[in-house]
Amino acid sequence: MPDKNGVDTAKEIQGCLIASGKKDIPIIFITGYSGDEVKLQAPLVGETLYKPIDVERLLTVIRDYL
């Protein structure tokens, strides 16, 4: 994703959905990147899990969104 990160992409997707009158979708970020900027922004658009993945935490997050 040249010139974008996952947070920027998620915001763009959410904006397109809202603009077209569609329901927002839940977003779960799974990342090995731990930059402060992404840490601060990611929770605004979805759940963030960091590698290595805690499978139980992932399943809990998925169940919460269902």
The tens-digit pLDDT sequence of the chain (66 residues) is 578 777 788 888 888 988 999 987 888 888 876 666 566 566 667 788 888 999 999 999 999 988
Tell if the pTM clears 0.75, that is, is over it. Answer: no
CA distances from residue 20 to 36, 41, 59, 62 in whole angstroms, order as listed: 32, 24, 30, 25
**Structure-block tokens of residue 25:** 């979708």
